A and B are shown apart, each in its own frame.
Chain A
Amino acid sequence: MVNKLLEPEAAIARVLFDGAVVMVGGFGLVGKPLTLVTALNESAFGRLTVVSNNLGEPGQYLGRTLRLGKIRRAVGSFFTSNPEAVRAHVEGRLEVTLLPQGTFSEALRAGGAGLGGFYTPTGVGTLLAEGKEVREIDGRAYLFQEALTADVALVRARRADRLGNLVYAGTARNFNPLMATAARKVVAEVDEIVEVGALDPEHVATPHLYVDHLVLARERP
């Protein structure tokens, strides 16, 4: 049987490269693959585009990635939680694409579903509509949003089986199952890996075909 389990450092070395577009799951630290982010921070890779709802707190996890100068561009919905991200942007060191959280989530879903994009009513007439195509459908205005895809997704789940089927816990699910569909290479960090057949198929939220590598979590929020 395929062995998807790797050490975190080996997984990062296997999938990442300079200039990669990397999706990182989690809402704040909840559902964030902390062990993988630490391995990324200790790697030599840089010039990354990070697709993640936010860039954490100053100096912690993705906040540390930023402080290390590894992030060139960030795509997400809420960067004000890290004042260093705001400063990096103001000083021209960080390019930012800001999307409403629902638009961000749906762009991940669309990217994983093979769609080019979608029309959303969210954001019409606001600053975030600038430069976007507006289309009227049945009397209502919508903005076009392109799908998001990535080279690599780093996601967090509670449990996996050896095939890579994933089960999530509580609100730690958030962006993880979406990102797992939208990247060419997917590494899932989990607390526990069980034998094939031990997961209830009714509970599997990410089927194994999306998952390339598994790592065991060393860090938890």
Chain B
Amino acid sequence: MKELIARRAARLVQPGWVVNLGIGIPTLVSSHLDLDRVFLHTENGLLGVGPPPEPDQVDPDLVDAGKRPVTRRPGAAFFDSAASFSMIRGGHVDAALLGALQVDGRGRVANWAVPGEAVLGVGGAMDLITGAGTVIVLMTHTTRAGAPKLVPACTLPLTALRPADFVVTELATFRVDGEGLVLVERAPGVTREDVRSRTAAPYREEPPPAGGA
């Protein structure tokens, strides 16, 4: 299911983009991207992240933002954390692909504060949603308990006021426009009712019903 979400989100990434992949499902996206044409940025200071190394090739000074060992691609560059976040806030990173706990009816994301825990970790989430060119959320459609994650209003703290541009789940892909969520694609075998019954947030459908033009 997570691979399905990653594969569908990868289709939204355009050739030539610089892309930051968050922790969780987004890390699965890299194997669906052509790394000769898409450049992976990690906020701990590397542009040109390559696939994980063979176990005997691990370099302890080369990790991604999830602290997992990575490699560097030909043409890679290292930089300090202030430069890295200047790239993000300054609008130089074309897309951020990240996980979420909830998304509201306007596409706004809650993905940093965990329910029932002290709010003591934020990392780069706020900078990425605020500054990336295109924000793509990858998440399961419902919680493990079956509760919708697309909700009219987030009950968890928002990460930023800026909404996501796309939300990809195992059931559907939504685009976000000035008025809110638009269902643009359903996964194979998923009915409109499947999406409707597991989505608490209001959304529109695309293309709109025929007639009335």
A interface residues, Cβ below 8 angstroms from B: 27-28, 30-31, 53-54, 77-81, 85-86, 89-90, 96, 98-106, 108-109, 120-128, 158, 168-178, 205, 220-221
Contact = CB atoms under 8 A, between A and B. Distances in A.
B120 A128 contact: no
Interface string B121-135: 111111100110000
Nearest to B64: A171
24 contacts: A27-B45, A27-B63, A28-B67, A30-B44, A89-B118, A101-B85, A102-B124, A105-B81, A108-B81, A121-B131, A122-B89, A122-B130, A124-B161, A125-B158, A125-B161, A170-B45, A170-B61, A170-B62, A171-B44, A171-B62, A174-B44, A176-B80, A178-B80, A220-B60
Most-contacted residue by chain A among B78, B114, B122, B160 (CB, 10 A): B122
Chain B, interface residues (CB within 8 Å), range: 35 or more
B82 A78 contact: no
A31 B62 CA distance: 10
Given A126-B158, A173-B79, A28 B123 contact: no
Interface in B109-148: 113-114, 117-127, 130-131
B120 A96 contact: yes
A177 B45 CA distance: 12
B61 A169 contact: yes
A158 B61 CA distance: 10
